[in-house]
Structure 1
Amino acid sequence: MTMSIFDQFLIPNFLGLPLIIPAMLMPLLLFPQTARLMQNRLEALTNFIIKLLTKQLTQPLNPGTHKWTNPLISLMLLLTSMNLLGLFPYTFTPTTQLSMNMALALPLWMATVLIGLRTQPTHALGHLLPEGTPTLLIPALILIETISLFIRPLALAVRLTANLTAGHLLIQLISTATLLLPATSYSLTMMLGVILLLLMVLEIAVAMIQAYVFVLLLTLYLQENT
């Protein structure tokens, strides 16, 4: 059977059941909850990182929107864990599926829009027409701003999917070349091995940065509507 480099993005099945749901639940095992009175080093480091991320995310938000902190931090940890999960051998990255990313982006974006329409409808609708717009340009600008508003969840999902997919494809290509070149040139194989190692480090950074960017854009949308 001919294998394609894109086969790594197909949802694997076991006994006819898709494995994307266990892959999504797997990150929960990385954050164990214990009843100890004293924290170990790993738990203390995890809590420090969570507090630091919480401070960074809540800085641009109004005090009234701080109740969104727990869902946003939980979403960031979920995305980071699933992004990093796909870098291990024999694993699957759920966030390379556009359908899943849309399922995350669309309801959260819709929630920010509905909050704006409920709390301050005039201000929320005012974003569709900048102040001082010439009369002849009003219909065109309203149309453009409306399209840009509705394209936001698609941009969130496509950005996350495209960045992870591109990194995985590049790793797949370089690793395949590294395995096939030892019979031709050992020096070139060593060079590709070093490039592959550096690319893995870069992909780890991309996995964490993309999760942060996804949640940060949601906080900016929330800030516009509160």
Structure 2
Amino acid sequence: MTLSLFDQFMSPVLWGIPLMALALLLPWLLLLKPCTRWLSNRFLTLQNWFLNYFMKQIFLPMNLKGHEWAVLFSSLMLFLITLNMLGLLPYTFTPTTQLSLNMAFAVPIWLSAVIIGLRNQPTHALGHLLPEGTPTLLIPILIIIETISLFIRPLALGVRLTANLTAGHLLIQLISTGAFIMFSLMPTIAMLTSILLFLLTILEVAVAMIQAYVFVLLLSLYLQENI
């Protein structure tokens, strides 16, 4: 039983062909692109409003150099939200429950921000490794600790996204299995459990959106420190 709970997180394979590429391609097919040949609709208007609001929240404290990353961060935000939301549908797969995929998103952007900081302002970038006013005896220890914390950042990003989505999916499956088993034995308890399952699903939808926002927000904070 324990093994079957984690089968939903295995990469799907059909006839020996991995379907991860199809799962990553599907979100881009669902997002609408503005065109001059047809009028806007409500979904496209809502999508544009969300993007504008997101850009203001992320890039307001940044300088003009950071605004060059707006397209990358907005695309990543929409991509992660769509992947997380599609994974809540029945008979689907959530690619963002794979730590390797999340690390593939986090490491290149984090590393790019660090390299930009070391190239453009090396003194300021290295100054983060040693707080001002540190006693002489604590300087080597603090440099080691700050260096470790710097390299742990992308790992923390990937683990946070993976753990939150995995925990939510497991809770939904456990509660739905319990409600299905109790339906014939205790219908009243099963109905109450189904209400709890519905509320948990709404919470998981919120978590899917919030975790994508937090992922991109933390990347923007790392970029802000280096530009």
Do these two structures clear the TM 0.5 threshold for a shared fold by scoring above it? yes
Structure 2 letter corresponding to 1:205: A
1:178-193 map, 5 Å = 178-193=179-194
Match of 2:31 in 1: 31
Structure 2 letter corresponding to 1:198: L
Structure 2 letter corresponding to 1:144: I
Deviations 1:139-167 (A, max 9, x none): 00000000000000000000000000000
Structure 2 letter corresponding to 1:47: N
Q: Are 2:217 and 1:216 equivalent residues in the alignment?
A: yes
Query: How much has 1:32 moved relative to structure 2?
Result: 2.7
Match of 1:122 in 2: 123
Q: TM-score w.r.t. structure 2 length?
A: 0.97
Match of 1:49 in 2: 50
Across the aligned residues of Structure 1 and Structure 2, the Cα RMSD in angstroms comes to 1.3
Match of 1:5 in 2: 5
1:1-226 map, 5 Å = 4-33=4-33, 34-226=35-227
Change (3 A) 1:55 1:2: closer
Decide which moves more: 26-35 or 111-120.
Answer: 26-35
Give the 3-state SS of the residue equivalent to 1:113 in structure 2: helix
Q: Structure 2: how far apart are the matches of 1:73 and 1:20?
A: 22
Q: Structure 2: how far apart are the matches of 1:170 and 1:56?
A: 32
Query: How much has 1:38 moved relative to structure 2?
Result: 2.3
Structure 1 letter corresponding to 2:32: P
Deviations 1:113-139 (A, max 9, x none): 001001100000000001110000000
Q: Structure 2: how far apart are the matches of 1:141 and 1:199?
A: 42
Structure 2 letter corresponding to 1:132: G
Query: How much has 1:3 moved relative to structure 2?
Result: 5.7
Structure 2 letter corresponding to 1:163: N
Structure 1 letter corresponding to 2:188: S
Query: How much has 1:2 moved relative to structure 2?
Result: 8.9
Identity percentage over the alignment? Answer: 61
Decide which moves more: 157-166 or 12-21.
Answer: 12-21
Unmatched 5+ stretches in structure 2: none
Instruction: Tell me how many residue pairs correspond in the alignment.
Output: 226
Unmatched 5+ stretches in structure 1: none
Q: Structure 1: how far apart are the matches of 2:41 and 2:66?
A: 32
